[in-house]
Amino acid sequence: MNILYLHGLNSKLSEAKNAILERYGKVQAPDINYSRKHLQPIEILQPYPETEFNVIIGSSMGALNGYIISNWIGRPALLFNPPLSKYPWSLMLPEAKFRRGNASKQLLLGGRDEIVNPQETLAFLGRHLQDHELEIKIDPLLGHRIPVDLFEEQVASFFSKICS
């Protein structure tokens, strides 16, 4: 299984989270500079022309790009606190580039996130419920950062569904 992991703004995939992901497959975690351009789905995929990603996992700005890539290549995604409401819906549904598959999404939103407003994300998704299969979990005590134990729990839940 090929996993594309997309980190957030000014962040990287930690060794602990990478070890969790490696239990499920080969991890590609490109180093992305979001400060010059937030939306980079084409640039993110460019270094991997021969790789067929089975799943996309992303956090914050990486979750935003992961949402777009998931739709583009038709693969499921696990997304942590994506700032979806900051961009037009038309950007979230680019024309499919590859064979479409299951582009279901599992999202975890922090109820106390001070960087990405969970209410705005929910309102945004609510306007487009007919477009995707979504599983949304809101942790009322969670902020923007995802603790390793919660990351591990969400990853296990995600893979249990897509591998069954």
Rounded-to-5 percentages of helix, strand, coil across the chain: 35, 20, 45
Question: What integer pLDDT is reported at residue 71 of this predicted model?
Answer: 85
Residue 163, pLDDT score: 80
Q: Using one digit for the tens of pLDDT, what is the confidence trace for 14-40?
A: 999 999 999 999 999 999 999 888 889
User: What confidence tens digit (pLDDT) does each residue in 52-74 have?
Assistant: 999 999 999 999 999 989 988 88
**pLDDT score, position 91:** 58
| Mean pLDDT within 81-97 | 68
**Does pTM surpass 0.85?**
yes
Average pLDDT taken over every residue of the chain: 89
pLDDT (tens digit per residue) in 109-120: 999 999 999 999
Q: Report the C-alpha gap between 81 and 113 in whole angstroms.
A: 8
- Residue 107 in this model has a pLDDT that exceeds 90: yes
35: its two tokens: 């400060």
Dig out the tokens for 6 from the structure.
């997309």
Q: How far apart are CA 4 and CA 54, in angstroms?
A: 8
65, 30 in Cβ contact below 8 A? no
Sequence-distant (≥ 6) Cβ neighbours of residue 148 within 8 angstroms:
14, 16, 17, 20
